[in-house]
Structure 1
Amino acid sequence: MYKALYRKYRSKSFDQMLGQEFIVKSLKNQIINNEISHAYLFSGTRGTGKTSAAKIFARAVNCENPIDGNPCNKCESCTSILNDLNMDVVEMDAASNNGVDDIRQLKEKVIYPPTSLKYKVYIIDEVHMLSKGAFNALLKILEEPPRHLIFILATTEIEKIPATILSRTQKFEFKRIAINEIIKNLKSITEEEGKSLDDEVYLLIAKNADGSMRDALSVLDQLLSFDIKNMTIEDAVNILGISSQEAIFKFTNALINRDLIGAVNAIDELADQGKDFLSLNNQLLGHFRDLMLVKTLQEPEKLVFSTYLKEFKAQAQNSDLDRILEIIDGLKDLQTNIKYAENPRILMEMTSLKICSEPSQKSLWDNIKNLRERIESLEEGRTQSFKREDPSDIIKKEKESQVIHKSENENFVPSPILEDRVEKKEGLPLENESEEESFDLKTPEAKEILKESKEFDDENNKEEILSLKDIREDWPKILDNLKAINQVALAGVLIDAKVHSFANNLLDITFAEGHVFHIRVVNDPERLEIIKSLLKKRYNRDIEVRFSLEKDITAEKLENLFEKNIINRK
């Protein structure tokens, strides 16, 4: 009967094991020094040598002539174990013997001493498959084991093992075997079988094995069964149903460059070749992983094992790292869904179209960043508009302003009372806004200021048609009038206001949403009276003024562009 390569070339001594040097050294030292524990736990991914190490250890502890911690494989004990003829070494599969009754039967057997060997060894594969009751029964054995008993537990999912079991075992973590070691072993076995493969084929097998020597040998077994004296990469790709690197580069270039037609055509070409879409997606993920590392690392050769490294570097130069990460994210989601899809081609096409058509996350974040910077600059400008000025500077600026706007306000003469009032304000607490706005329109001082203000000429006092356009054009002058009567802070607040509408002698003035403080300031009865008085002086009519908040159009647009819960509207 034909024997599979992974069984035929299974390691028979610790020295033949690949990629587990530290574990091998520890186990050999225990055997040499006769420091054998009663329970071991071997964990790690599939095909890394856990069961092989357990069988070697079972022979080594019972070997009549051990050689530097290795079994001799020649004595009666070793040969009987190798040929599965010794009843004192038992290998169990916990997946099919996971009940509490199975472990109770085991408990009844282990109490008896070995018949021909020094130790009774029980190897339990996939131990994480045991039920809770079975683990409790096993725990009782591990707590009080007989002196002649050794348990070797093997698992690929150590996180499922109860802590009470873990604490009673020596734990050894088997790591994935390096690609170089897998290739070296594959070449050695191929030579023994009298065959040869191209170097690219060995690399293809090793990369797809994902650190598992057993998986690599299974693939090699499949290739060698075609009885081709020297197998090329094209032969291997066709036999294994793996897409060629040329097709993969064509497909990935289409995804990177957002080429919808190229991506769909590439899928159609691969489908005609009968490629499995789950395997294809695995290849794509592996390709973009290598591309990501080539794009990021200065020496990608240490982590990217490929004969197409030159092509990867060329593709990386024409790719953006953010774009590569976006594609990996899309393919990752596809990997989960495609396993259970009745028509995986549709999912592959749909995902490819999404990847090619969706806007770049980088561009979206850039837009948000630009919006944030604009908002911050606006807020910073608004803050500067509220900065308090030195009273002496106010008088100086007002005098300069009178010269600049002489043509507009040539009849305006600053009141001497105003200068006295400004000088008196020196030394007042600048932080207290209410103290600055203590101007009372009913006081004789205020009446005299308004009386002495000759800014409004006779033409403006005549009754005439007043439009919204007129008020908007005059608005800067109105703010200057406020400053002239020492209402600098009020003018600063109204800088952010917008003259919204005017009808039936009702003037609507709005602030952007969030300016609640501004509304509270301008709606103060005294300040409102000041504004109405200035308007009456200018336009010779009683004008009612109403302040309100307008809808935040910018936030609304952001909510339409993104989701409402993303936008923080204060």
Structure 2
Amino acid sequence: MSYQALYRVFRPQQFHDVVGQEHITRTLQNALLQNKFSHAYLFSGPRGTGKTSAAKVFAKTVNCEKAPVAEPCNECASCRGITDGSISDVIEIDAASNNGVDEIRDIRDKVKFAPSAVKYKVYIVDEVHMLSIGAFNALLKTLEEPPKHVIFILATTEPHKIPLTIISRCQRFDFKRITAQSIVGRMKEIIEDQSIHAEEEALNVIARAADGGMRDALSLLDQAISFSDDKVYLEDALLITGSVSQSFVGKLVEHIHNKNVADALKTLDALMNQGKDPAKFIEDLIYYFRDMLLFKAAPNLENVLERVSIDEHFVELSKKVQPDLIYETIDVLNKSHQEMKWTNHSRIFLEVAIVKLCQHDAVPPAEQSENTILLEKIENLEKEMLHLKENGFSSQVKQPAQPEVKQSRAVKGGYKTPIGRIHEILKDAQRKELGLLKNKWGELLDYLKQQNKVSHAALLNDSEPVAASEKAFILKFKYEIHCKMVAEDNNQVRTNMESILRNLLGKSIEMVGVPEPDWVKIREEFIRDQKTDEDAEQEEEPIVAEAKKLFGSDLVEIKE
């Protein structure tokens, strides 16, 4: 191949080229200069942050003919041989495809042989978390006490999957996500070297889309260069990355703030017609509001802004939008973003979220909070008192007319608990029947899932049988809305459940639903009534009780 991807051509050949990991490169350079480097290292961090590249630079530096040095010379035979892969003493292993015990045993057998061309034999094990448990166990002893001429460098993106016994035998370095500013700086060096022209806004868009990975950024830059003619423009970068321009997002945010549903949906429709991903766009929208919130809190800290570059329109919007509205907006968008993962119609969730945000303040008067009503009441009282004082009636103050207080909800559409029916079931309830029902409850939920009635099973997840007789049982629900939906049988949940229980128990049994707060009260009342009846029986005189036993309570008449 005559052409190589940018991330391969500009792979770091010195520690200086490993961008954004100065805390690691400086530590390694000092250790190399003082000949105090370890026999095993663990490099962990997100993809494309320089783990394998740093390992190769380390292998070159430790084997450089001018060692000890802080940077490889890249001129001696050792440096050139390691760079082009002709020296077999630097072995790079992909643990994803060589994860068995046999491969590690092969390493363990060969590790005792001295290097053939350089001073140290370096094993770079990439994606080491993919090794099997047996492979890790085979590596343990060799990793702890390798020969003096061997260095192990383990690289991984998921360090939590590596056994602690392996981690404790290594020096661990955590690579962090590279900042957008550092990625842009590196891309500027590359396009300057390649005599390519690019707008800075385009580079910023690519850096944000890379999400902290230099390799991803260079791949996107490569794609944008191929797409454009003589210069990489902002529009090219937006098209390649699937991102949306800040001005477009700002326009939509302004429509949301002005409660202009029609213009907001028109703007959104234009975006969707360009083939943008709704999930990606809603993420950009969340970051826009996040940056707006941080800008309002700390205007001087521009470096904490993730996706936004500060312009006049952004500053004006930040002044208009209040923090409380930003909190609620982020919450609505985040919930919609989560729901998008489980649907094939993600655009609908995005449109619903936009409409909901535009109509957020359109709350009817009946939904006023109690605090608002109380403040209005106090204000009216103060006005009435002031009016009376001004007219000289301070000594004969009449009670001011109470302002009409609107109920927060005119009609409560809740669930009406059948208290009488529950008392009847409790009188005939048996512990044996309840135990039998509870034993079959898990089978009931499994049976619903097998019938593809996952929504029915979800409604019963937070329910529990609390009492049962031979013909009926009481089902306690954590949430009143679930109790109402099941008890009123709007979606055949109750019918389906009683049918399954008929098959499982071999008899018909009626379900009576009760919300948890109501059940606590009903149970306490029932227990109290039972104790009262028992106490009354206990207080009866012995001679009367004996007479009732002999002749029956119908024939015994008690006279004082």
Answer yes or no: same fold by TM over 0.5.
yes
Q: Distance in 2 between matches of 1:359 and 1:100?
A: 63
In the other structure, the counterpart of 1:17 is 18
Matched, 1:313 2:282: no
Q: Distance in 2 between matches of 1:56 and 1:91?
A: 13
In the other structure, the counterpart of 2:415 is none
In the other structure, the counterpart of 2:95 is 94
Q: Distance in 2 between matches of 1:62 and 1:76?
A: 10
**SS at 1:122's partner residue?**
strand
The alpha-carbon distance between structure 1 residues 322 and 3, as it changes in their structure 2 partners (threshold 3 A), is same
The alpha-carbon distance between structure 1 residues 333 and 154, as it changes in their structure 2 partners (threshold 3 A), is farther
**SS at 1:118's partner residue?**
coil
The alpha-carbon distance between structure 1 residues 300 and 312, as it changes in their structure 2 partners (threshold 3 A), is farther
Shift of 1:357: 4.5
In the other structure, the counterpart of 1:127 is 128
How do 1:246-257 and structure 2 match up within 5 A? Answer: 246-257=247-258
Paired residue type of 1:316? S
In the other structure, the counterpart of 2:292 is 291
* Alignment TM-score, normalising by the size of structure 1: 0.61
In the other structure, the counterpart of 1:185 is 186
8 A Cα contact 2:209 2:241, kept in partner: no
Q: Distance in 1 between matches of 2:257 and 2:158?
A: 37
**SS at 2:13's partner residue?**
coil
8 A Cα contact 1:13 1:56, kept in partner: yes
In the other structure, the counterpart of 1:146 is 147
Shift of 1:147: 1.8
Paired residue type of 1:92? I
Q: Distance in 1 between matches of 2:193 and 2:168?
A: 44
Paired residue type of 2:192? E
How do 1:21-420 and structure 2 match up within 5 A? Answer: 21-66=22-67, 68-304=69-305, 306-339=308-341, 341-357=343-359, 367=369
Query: Can you list the C-alpha shifts for 1:289-331, whole angstroms capped at 9, x where unaligned?
Result: 2112112213142322644432222111121212212222233
Q: Distance in 2 between matches of 1:54 and 1:324?
A: 44
**SS at 1:46's partner residue?**
coil
Shift of 1:36: 2.3
The alpha-carbon distance between structure 1 residues 284 and 34, as it changes in their structure 2 partners (threshold 3 A), is same
In the other structure, the counterpart of 2:495 is none
Q: Distance in 1 between matches of 2:52 and 2:362?
A: 48
Paired residue type of 1:367? S
8 A Cα contact 1:295 1:313, kept in partner: no
Paired residue type of 2:176? K
In the other structure, the counterpart of 1:429 is none
Shift of 1:288: 1.7
Paired residue type of 1:336? Q
Q: Distance in 1 between matches of 2:180 and 2:517?
A: 45
Q: Distance in 2 between matches of 1:195 and 1:270?
A: 30
Paired residue type of 2:332? G
The alpha-carbon distance between structure 1 residues 566 and 273, as it changes in their structure 2 partners (threshold 3 A), is farther
The alpha-carbon distance between structure 1 residues 565 and 298, as it changes in their structure 2 partners (threshold 3 A), is farther
Q: Distance in 2 between matches of 1:344 and 1:569?
A: 42
Shift of 1:57: 0.4
The percentage of aligned residue pairs carrying the same residue is 44
Query: Can you list the C-alpha shifts for 1:466-485, whole angstroms capped at 9, x where unaligned?
Result: xxxxxxxxxxxxxxxxxxxx
Q: Distance in 1 between matches of 2:284 and 2:8?
A: 28
8 A Cα contact 1:190 1:196, kept in partner: yes
8 A Cα contact 2:336 2:350, kept in partner: yes
Shift of 1:155: 1.5
Answer with 51-60 or 37-46: which moved more. 37-46
Q: Distance in 1 between matches of 2:160 and 2:366?
A: 40
Shift of 1:371: 8.8
The alpha-carbon distance between structure 1 residues 56 and 364, as it changes in their structure 2 partners (threshold 3 A), is farther
What root-mean-square deviation, in Å, do the aligned CA atoms of Structure 1 and Structure 2 show? 3.4
Query: Can you list the C-alpha shifts for 1:43-79, whole angstroms capped at 9, x where unaligned?
Result: 1222221111100001111111137321111111111
8 A Cα contact 1:48 1:175, kept in partner: yes
Paired residue type of 2:369? N
8 A Cα contact 2:225 2:231, kept in partner: no
**SS at 1:274's partner residue?**
coil
Q: Distance in 1 between matches of 2:296 and 2:519?
A: 36
Shift of 1:568: 13
Q: Distance in 1 between matches of 2:94 and 2:300?
A: 44
**SS at 1:121's partner residue?**
strand
Q: Distance in 2 between matches of 1:272 and 1:85?
A: 52
Q: Distance in 1 between matches of 2:373 and 2:169?
A: 60
Paired residue type of 2:104? I
Q: Distance in 1 between matches of 2:189 and 2:259?
A: 44
8 A Cα contact 1:50 1:154, kept in partner: yes
**SS at 1:146's partner residue?**
coil
Give the length in aligned residue pairs: 386
In the other structure, the counterpart of 1:446 is none
Query: Can you list the C-alpha shifts for 1:513-552, whole angstroms capped at 9, x where unaligned?
Result: xxxxxxxxxxxxxxxxxxxxxxxxxxxxxxxxxxxxxxxx
Shift of 1:101: 3.1
**SS at 2:344's partner residue?**
coil
Query: Can you list the C-alpha shifts for 1:334-383, whole angstroms capped at 9, x where unaligned?
Result: 3334345323212322333344446799x999936669999xxxxxxxxx
8 A Cα contact 1:278 1:335, kept in partner: yes
Q: Distance in 1 between matches of 2:15 and 2:235?
A: 37
The alpha-carbon distance between structure 1 residues 163 and 259, as it changes in their structure 2 partners (threshold 3 A), is farther
The alpha-carbon distance between structure 1 residues 85 and 314, as it changes in their structure 2 partners (threshold 3 A), is same
**SS at 1:225's partner residue?**
helix
The alpha-carbon distance between structure 1 residues 164 and 264, as it changes in their structure 2 partners (threshold 3 A), is same
Paired residue type of 1:344? S
The alpha-carbon distance between structure 1 residues 301 and 193, as it changes in their structure 2 partners (threshold 3 A), is same
* Alignment TM-score, normalising by the size of structure 2: 0.62
Gaps of 5+ in 2: 377-395, 397-479, 485-514, 522-560
In the other structure, the counterpart of 1:438 is none
**SS at 2:289's partner residue?**
helix
Query: Can you list the C-alpha shifts for 1:386-436, whole angstroms capped at 9, x where unaligned?
Result: xxxxxxxxxxxxxxxxxx9xxxxxxxxxxxxxxxxxxxxxxxxxxxxxxxx
Q: Distance in 1 between matches of 2:114 and 2:319?
A: 68
Shift of 1:258: 4.4
Q: Distance in 1 between matches of 2:171 and 2:346?
A: 45
8 A Cα contact 1:110 1:149, kept in partner: yes
**SS at 2:36's partner residue?**
coil
The alpha-carbon distance between structure 1 residues 214 and 568, as it changes in their structure 2 partners (threshold 3 A), is farther
The alpha-carbon distance between structure 1 residues 356 and 566, as it changes in their structure 2 partners (threshold 3 A), is farther
